[in-house]
Chains A and B, each alone.
Chain A
Amino acid sequence: MTTAATNLRPPPFLRRYLTFTWLTLAVAAAIMVFEAFAHPSIVVNTLVTGGMWALMAAGLAMVFGVMNIPNFAHGELFLLGSFTAFTVFSPIQDALFDDPSLTWLKVVGPIPGMVVALAVGAVTGVLLEVALFRPLRRRSRDQWVMNTFLLTAGVSVVAINSYRLVVGNDFHGVPGYWIFPPINVAGVPISVDRLMVLLISVVTIGLFALFLRRTRLGRAIRAVSQDETGAQMAGIDLNGIFVLTMAISCALAALAGASLLFLFPAYPDVGLQPLYTAWFVVILAGLGNIPGAVVGAFLVALLQNLTIFYVGVGWVDVLPTLFIMLILLFKPSGLFGSAVKGVWEQ
């Protein structure tokens, strides 16, 4: 017999999986509120970089959830995006330099670069799936997760060094996208670039979530991530879904690279930090969990910005790692991980 008091508490499985998670989120929220008064720049940086990590991590999580591929070449899509945006934006920047009175170009100028980066990323994703993952899938699905991990590691090395051979080791960056005076938000001056990047990430994540939840294709993607065989029996074209998933994931990474060009100039190794940050996020949130990855991205961004502000920029790899190991001690399947095992785990 249980008493009325215990009946009011959430059932055991909820208690077990929610308490620690909510506690962590509450602490993060409290820090955000505190820092909003003490050091608003931390909050701004957290939101700006967090939005972009969310784009990276959501793509990574989706590819893992749907195709069971732990993509180690995700950072190179970031590089591809930033270099594409640089190539497209440079002439526009020059035109603006020659004639600063073109206000309309000042407003819309950065957009083409991002759109082209998005498209180039999507095409690369299609190529990756068709040229690499499909042949491997056709040959064997034994130890698929490890094999694709190594495969993408190879792709990453080839991509970084090919870029180095073709483009060189120089930094290709822009001083800023939208050259306007900073805007005051609640008394804190924030550069227009940062606000726009935040806007881009919020809009993209919103559209992405709508696509996944409200469209037939999105439902098909989610179906494949839950049960591949079942989805196939329901008439879903698996190959089509794989191509689409890879294209979206790569496009998101490229968009992140393009949007952050003013913070991360394009150079061969630029993808490394976004890559391992996205992996931090995905591990923290639980592999394959897309909404978790979005929340986790802001958590990791907060952690990184706190580390940079209070400890020093060099420790940005060390402290978040320790924190993640600590979390995994308590929650081995990630902060939002469920106890349900995915196909890849069995």
Chain B
Amino acid sequence: MKVAVLFSGGKDSCLAMHKAEQEGNTVVCLISIISKNKESYMFHVPNIELTALQAKAIDIPILQVETVGEKEKELDDLKNAIAQAKEDMQIEGVVTGAVGSVYQASRVQKICDELELWCINPLWQMDQIELLNELLTEKFIVCITGIFGYPLDESWLGKTITKETIEKRAELQDKFKLNPAGEGGEIETTVFDGPIFYEKINPKKTSTEYDNHAGTLTIEEAELVPK
């Protein structure tokens, strides 16, 4: 079916898109909600503006919509964006990267139901370590661009997810009950390359903000380079 992907530019939306394509769906547009609220309940925040460049690299049109990020208003903005994609691109379904968040998944399910669209969650309930390993197997290049919570520190910012990073995350999961894929919001990621990319992202200038186990790596400038 023709689908739109709710696209944050992070690992979950990229892997969900890849799985949806592998199962025969055609992604005709990406939808990114740019929340002005840094603590949005629904939407991934760091480097969300980079989604326009990522969409170029993936070679699929993107619909970027700004929201002030108030709890229920951001859902109205999301619904309007999906409705626009249905009108303009004739989508039949929406793909999300939801893994375990019932808050996110049930709200998108309700919006899709109201708009008579299929709601597709290819990563739903997926084991977190399996998810990280699948990103590696599928050759996604995933950079950690946000950390939010003890014992994560500045050294994690800018790291690419590798076998070693996954092992370290698994250790922290056991010791500190951290969710290894960060879906609880402890880590945010930005994807630079992968099987859905025709070109890759090369970050040219970055800046870091960090204080007391909370920090972000902002990609100030980036370019597309051939793979």
- Chains A and B form a bound pair: no
Question: Which residues of B approach A to under 8 Å, CB–CB?
Answer: none
Question: Which residues of A approach B to under 8 Å, CB–CB?
Answer: none
